[in-house]
Amino acid sequence: MSRLAEQPASSSAGRDALLLVASGVRKSYRMGDSDLQVLRRVDLSVKAGEFIAIEGRSGSGKSTLLHILGALESYDAGSVSFDGQDFSRFSSAQRSALRNRQFGFVFQFYYLLPELNVLENTMLAAMVEHSWLSFHASKGSLKRHAVDLLKRLGLEERLRHRPQQLSGGERQRVAIARALMNQPRVLFADEPTGNLDFDTGRQIMNVLERLHRQANQTIIMVTHDRSLARQADRILVLKNGALEPAQA
């Protein structure tokens, strides 16, 4: 497989620029008469082009943190900024635009629509991004971009297949193509191999590693598997509600 994607020019100055910054982030959930504090004080700085793996035991708050960083979930205290802009100052519409234009998401469960084929599922993000008229005016170029992504992910023979006709690994590659459709600045991966067998999971990790190496894709991934995390530039552990460097 050759090059997977080409990244658009960033408004930040080069690979060493800080792209995503969390400072003192706290998050708790109401459980009956008490509060369950999941994140106590999370600090994280992510550079453009960096691949970060976040480990932690089940229930440690890894997915919650990923959702907060990806503007999918609110937080109680602290701050999160993307490209120097604080999330807390964004309206709901601005947060939605940020998620769709700048972020891509890959989850453990693929969330493909069963009534759509592979190509249509891949184009979903573009459909959301554009108005009806704009989408139809650009449909040809968007379709070519989707087909190119799917070809780069080895799915050129599956364009008209529906999700139920695919293997688990193929479904996850479709999910990755969908996440890349709008050329996101940050790709968030939440246990992307958790629903796959070992060999298929390794193939998906190889896809992510190539994206990082060849296309300079910024990736933040949560996982419980240290062997997978080792493919990242940096491994952090979420423990007692805070991030700390992983021990060798």
Question: What is the pLDDT at residue 72?
Answer: 94
Question: What is the pLDDT at residue 125?
Answer: 80
For residue range 123-169, list pLDDT tens digits in order: 988 877 766 666 677 788 999 999 999 999 999 999 999 999 999 99
Comparing C-alpha atoms, which of 16, 78, 79, 73 is closest to residue 49? 16
Question: What is the pLDDT at residue 131?
Answer: 64
Question: What is the pLDDT at residue 135?
Answer: 64
What single DSSP character describes residue 163?
Answer: G
Alpha helices in 103-243 (DSSP H): 118-122, 124-129, 132-152, 168-180, 198-215, 226-229
Higher pLDDT, 128 or 207: 207
Question: What is the pLDDT at residue 14?
Answer: 56
Question: What is the pLDDT at residue 15?
Answer: 58
CA-CA distance, 90 to 86, in Å (whole number)? 7
Question: What is the pLDDT at residue 9?
Answer: 39
- Say if residue 13's pLDDT is above 70: no
Burial grade of 116 (CB within 10 A; 0-12, 13-18, 19 or more): middle
For residue range 216-228, list pLDDT tens digits in order: 999 999 998 888 8
Pairing outcome for strands 234-239 and 242-245: antiparallel
Question: What is the pLDDT at residue 10?
Answer: 43
For residue range 23-62, list pLDDT tens digits in order: 999 999 988 888 889 999 999 999 999 999 999 888 889 9
Question: What is the pLDDT at residue 136?
Answer: 72
CA-CA distance, 11 to 48, in Å (whole number)? 10
pTM across the whole model: 0.88
Question: What is the pLDDT at residue 12?
Answer: 44
Is the CB of residue 50 less than 8 Å from the CB of residue 233?
yes
Burial grade of 180 (CB within 10 A; 0-12, 13-18, 19 or more): buried
CA-CA distance, 135 to 142, in Å (whole number)? 8
Structure tokens at 1: 């497989």
For residue 49, the one-letter residue type is: G
Consecutive H or E run containing 219: strand 218-222
CA distances from 101 to 143, 171, 181 (A): 17, 22, 9
For residue range 92-119, list pLDDT tens digits in order: 999 998 998 899 999 989 999 999 999 9
- Local confidence band at 4 (pLDDT 50, 70, 90 cut-offs): low
For residue range 64-95, list pLDDT tens digits in order: 999 999 999 999 999 999 999 998 889 999 99
Comparing C-alpha atoms, which of 111, 130, 233 is closest to residue 179? 111
CA-CA distance, 244 to 57, in Å (whole number)? 14
